[in-house]
Structure 1
Amino acid sequence: MTVLVVGDVIDDIVVRPQRPVTADSDTPSTITACPGGSGANQAAWLGALGADVRFAGRAGAADIAAHTAALAAAGVDARLAADPGAATGRIVVLAEGGRRDMYTDRGANLNLSAADLPDELLDGVRLLHVSGYSLFHPGVRDAVGGLMARARGRGVDVSVDPGSAAFLAATGAEAFRAWARGTCLIFPNLDEGRLLTGLREPSDVATALTADHEVVALKLGADGALVAARDGTRLRLPSAPAEVVDPTGAGDAFCAGFLTAWAAARPLEDCAREGLSAAASAITTVGARPPTNLTPDPRTR
């Protein structure tokens, strides 16, 4: 069965300083241009890990062919709407010392409309996964919210990844919880989970969110992940060892690894382990998309 992902598609510029940043002057750096966008990254990881995945998003008309091809190379059926006026979204990522600071221009993503999300996107779909970025802008939220409602009407499960602590803080936790309430799964990182619940301890955050979601997969960065389910399941797993080259996209990879196993009806512990394995792979390469040598797990086929 197919996983449908809806979210941003972006042109990333990843900047990796070769020495401490020199204020008001030059800092020798390695600069890499690569495709990105949280939703598109998640779709690419799903495809590379062996899931049957479809992606819907919006990009500048001049970039449709390139972004479609990049997603197809990862095994994604990309349904991209061409924006005739706005440019494809762009993000400058400053990756330094195991962290990444992002300077974001969402561009054409802010024009995603109901016309870009027709009913046929849901044909054969087992799960609709929504990147939280799609819920922060009113017009996009209306379009994606309509698709979420139609998915539920067809008996399709829905999951959501909040995506951005900064946008979440600006929007407000109660508003976001209302928009996401009732989705089957949620994938916050710890900062996002704390904002959503007002709680500090990971176990308290995850437990609180099970009031709104059947399964909570709380991403803890280097400390691994905590999975809590409404049925009382609690799993705390360590991160997989890996050398950090660029942390961009690690959360997207975790989400995709988890969902790939989940769509194959595997146990929650397997889902979490697949997520952590994908995240470990993500941080060893520059950029947020899967490496070309990634071998899919045959159990997801």
Structure 2
Amino acid sequence: MVKDQLVATVLVIGDVIDDIIVVPNEPIRTNTDTDSSITQTLGGSASNIASWAASLGADVTFVGCVNTKDEFRVTEQFASYKVKTILQLSDKPTGSLVVLVDGENRSMLTDRGANKELDIKSLDYIFFTNFDYVFISGYTFFGRDVIEIKDLIYEAQHGGAMVLIDPGSAGYIKDFGLEDFKNAVYSCDILLPNQEEFELLGSSLAQITVVKNGSAGVDVYAEGIKMQTYPVEKISAVDPTGAGDAFAGGLVATLANEEPLAKAIQVGIETAAKAVQTIGARPQL
């Protein structure tokens, strides 16, 4: 890639979500109160990834869509993490999500709102020439056709960027259509599924597939062949909500620092371990 700037740049494309994170302090009691810790924060997988990457020193720009009234609030929150923003505006509410945490597991109730109106067709290869790495959240794909997604990946690669994709969630992959999803992401540079998503997608859709297995570690495949497993330390998780996003942010930030993939994965693991020890999916300010 030939870029004008000396420092590698990262573009993250995806959802902006207002997260409400609920951690019950006791077993949930039906039809009555359950004592809980509840935190509200700006989230969305891509937003979290951008924030973690910037917290590690990467030059990060985020593209997303929010309600018109939330433009200033969201811009300021991203700026607090040193993330630059290109926000499209909508009359729909900014996306929102309730996360119910149960140990290492979580259930998510989602209203994507304004995120559905993100116009990715306006992003062409000339725009992408400003960036070395383009990270796309799979949540961005839903409600779009395969050609639109393939065009986005092509334009980014044609602009000289390496394309990384996090599939989003197994549920959304099934809703999108498994074969359509595979067709859409085929030929991306790095795919970062979790174990459940990997069981659906396999290891042959990208040059490199990095599988996030939680406490079981991280598996790396190159063109379908398993190359290595990276172990992780067992720690007591307070909130696992942003572990995968923190891992991805650490990985892309390290790649942007011109470090090898092995180093990027290790930094991703360390960043994820840090993330799960606090409530919320973003770095602590």
Same fold (TM over 0.5): yes
Give the CA deviation at 1:194: 0.3
Alignment of 1:281-296 (within 5 A): 281-292=274-285
Match of 2:252 among 243, 252, 259: 259
Cα distance in 2 for residues equivalent to 1:55 and 1:19 = 38
Alignment of 1:125-274 (within 5 A): 125-138=131-144, 145-197=150-202, 209=203, 211-230=204-223, 234-274=227-267
**CA 1:142–1:214 in structure 2 vs 1: closer, same or farther (change >3 Å)?**
closer
Give the CA deviation at 1:128: 1.1
Give the CA deviation at 1:159: 1.2
**CA 1:178–1:142 in structure 2 vs 1: closer, same or farther (change >3 Å)?**
closer
Cα distance in 1 for residues equivalent to 2:225 and 2:29 = 51
Cα distance in 2 for residues equivalent to 1:173 and 1:30 = 36
Give the CA deviation at 1:232: 5.8
Cα distance in 2 for residues equivalent to 1:88 and 1:142 = 26
Q: Deviations over 1:163-211 (max 9, x none)?
A: 11111122222111110000000000000000123xxxxxxxxxxx1x3
Q: Which residues of structure 2 form unaligned runs of 5+?
A: 1-7
1:10 has 2:3 as partner: no
Question: Conserved in 2, the CA contact under 8 Å of 1:113 and 1:143?
Answer: no
Question: Conserved in 1, the CA contact under 8 Å of 2:129 and 2:161?
Answer: no
In structure 2, the residue matched to 1:73 is 80
Amino acid at match of 1:80: L
Question: Conserved in 1, the CA contact under 8 Å of 2:255 and 2:261?
Answer: yes
Q: How many residues get paired?
A: 278
Cα distance in 1 for residues equivalent to 2:68 and 2:181 = 31
Amino acid at match of 1:108: A
Amino acid at match of 1:103: L
- The 4+ residue runs of structure 1 with deviation greater than 6 A are none
Amino acid at match of 2:271: A
Residue 132 of structure 2 aligns to a residue whose secondary structure is: strand
When normalised by structure 2's length, the TM-score is 0.92
1:35 has 2:42 as partner: yes
Question: Conserved in 2, the CA contact under 8 Å of 1:55 and 1:76?
Answer: yes
Question: Conserved in 2, the CA contact under 8 Å of 1:235 and 1:269?
Answer: no
Q: Structure 1 vs Structure 2: percent identity of aligned residues?
A: 37
**CA 1:270–1:123 in structure 2 vs 1: closer, same or farther (change >3 Å)?**
same
Cα distance in 1 for residues equivalent to 2:68 and 2:115 = 12
Cα distance in 2 for residues equivalent to 1:100 and 1:225 = 20
**CA 1:61–1:290 in structure 2 vs 1: closer, same or farther (change >3 Å)?**
same
Question: Conserved in 2, the CA contact under 8 Å of 1:4 and 1:121?
Answer: no
1:22 has 2:29 as partner: yes
Cα distance in 2 for residues equivalent to 1:70 and 1:153 = 32
RMSD: 1.9
Cα distance in 2 for residues equivalent to 1:152 and 1:117 = 12
When normalised by structure 1's length, the TM-score is 0.87
Cα distance in 2 for residues equivalent to 1:37 and 1:247 = 14
Q: Which residues of structure 1 form unaligned runs of 5+?
A: 198-208, 293-301
